[in-house]
Amino acid sequence: MKQQVYFHDLDSIDYKECWDLQERLLTSIVDDKMLNRDKEPAHQIPSRHYLLFCEHPHVFTLGKSGSANHLLADENILKAKQATFYKINRGGDITYHGPGQLVGYPIFDLDFFFNDIHKYLRFLEEAIILTCADYGVTTGRIPGLTGVWLDIEDPIRARKICAFGVRCSRWVTMHGFAFNVNSDLSYFNMIVPCGITDKGVTSLQKELGREIDIEEVKAKVLLHMQELFNFSIQTPPNHTLPWIENDSIKSA
């Protein structure tokens, strides 16, 4: 059965504000699932799924399994570079978010898709792989390393174009992917990206030698996600994001 997903393009939004929003959406879905356990099917609260696209001001985030030593900048450098730092509750190590990077946060109840977090990550990766192919950029996976990479057969030249880190609670997901479109890659020099010391990072802009229309990229990623996860976009009512007031919020 094709699922319906509320899609919101939040444009540029503070990282903590968006993290709090994700937490509230996840909690509301989990709470409804708990209530549904005691209800007959005809009286259960309908499932909800959300997909948020955004960009963030310069920020570094460290996952639960990461090392703080992988942040190579001190407080003064962060301040000078107008960057913030958060320890967060996703998997993975340290990564960077900033302007020109497409960040995607699916808040999906996987009970209505498939109960397989590894398959979920592979589908997210595939959406980015297909989008890169739309631009003539060949990407793929490296065994044992989550992400989307270029030159996967060459350990020296291999470089990451999209990072992933997720959290799942009672099969409801949050966090997601960070796709370098027009990113300022110099910020990655301030960290050991994803804790991997022998691989570089790249962006669509760097690979193609020109700035990329990020709105076009969003449309392509969204289409590939719809096809892979078999969902359609549902126009969100005004009350779907009651915890954020942002005049720039757009819906599909």
Task: Supply the pLDDT for residue 191.
Answer: 87
Task: Supply the pLDDT for residue 199.
Answer: 80
Task: Supply the pLDDT for residue 245.
Answer: 44
Task: Supply the pLDDT for residue 55.
Answer: 98
Contact 167, 94 (CB under 8 A): no
Catalytic residues: 194
DSSP 15-44: HHHHHHHHHHHHHHHHHHHHHHTTS-GGGS
- CA pair distance 157, 200, nearest whole angstrom: 8
- Per-residue pLDDT for the chain (252 aa), expressed as one digit of tens each? 899 999 999 999 999 999 999 999 999 999 999 999 889 988 889 889 999 999 999 999 998 878 888 999 999 999 999 999 999 989 888 999 999 999 999 999 999 999 999 999 999 999 999 999 999 999 999 999 999 999 999 989 999 999 999 999 999 999 999 999 999 999 999 988 777 667 899 999 999 999 999 999 999 999 999 999 999 998 766 545 544 444 334 333
Task: Supply the pLDDT for residue 240.
Answer: 53
Please give the domain boundaries of the chain with CATH numbers for all domains: 3-251 (3.30.930.10)
- CA pair distance 83, 102, nearest whole angstrom: 17
Contact 92, 63 (CB under 8 A): yes
- Output 22-27 pairs: Cβ under 8 A, ≥24 positions apart: 22/52, 22/105, 22/107, 22/174, 22/175, 23/174, 24/243, 25/50, 25/107, 25/174, 26/107, 26/169, 26/172, 26/173, 26/174
